[in-house]
Amino acid sequence: MKKSISIILISFSIFSFGAHAANDDSHGHSNHNAEAATSGLNLNNGDRWEMDDHTRKMSSKMEETFFSADHSNQTSLNALGNHLEAQLGELISGCTMSGEAHNQLHLFLTDYVPTIQSLAKAEDYDTARNSAIKLKQSLENYKKHFK
């Protein structure tokens, strides 16, 4: 099951990244794509969704990586994106979740994955910085919906 989940997420992230890149508003004036991708997220009868231990630990690790990184230049931000991509692979490979909490996590990842990829591959500081800002918003959104 883990293998099929990984294949689905990888395929989806490649497709999503292509669509995201084509529609990217890299001027930083709008975040409509993020709002559209995550608008399906909801709470579990007013409470945050329970994550499995692995997902919770990896999410905390990714948040710590993000906030402890140097955000002052493109090279550092690209390195951060690459580091987060590796951690995302760990998150996906160890996922044991199922049910609606898992479905909600997938909705969250529809925007999170391509944003990490965009950060890793950004070709200038402004693009990298905008991706980092979007990731910060995603991390805040994660905390609102998952525990």
pLDDT, mean over the chain: 81
Distance in angstroms (rounded) separating the CA atoms of residues 92 and 128? 24
Distance in angstroms (rounded) separating the CA atoms of residues 146 and 134? 18
pTM: 0.74
Q: Quick: pLDDT tens for 1-46.
A: 444 344 344 444 433 333 333 333 332 323 333 443 456 899 999 9
What 3-state class would DSSP assign to 126? helix
Residue among 56, 55, 117, 62 at smallest CA distance from 91: 55
- Within 10 angstroms of residue 81's Cβ, the number of other Cβ atoms is 24
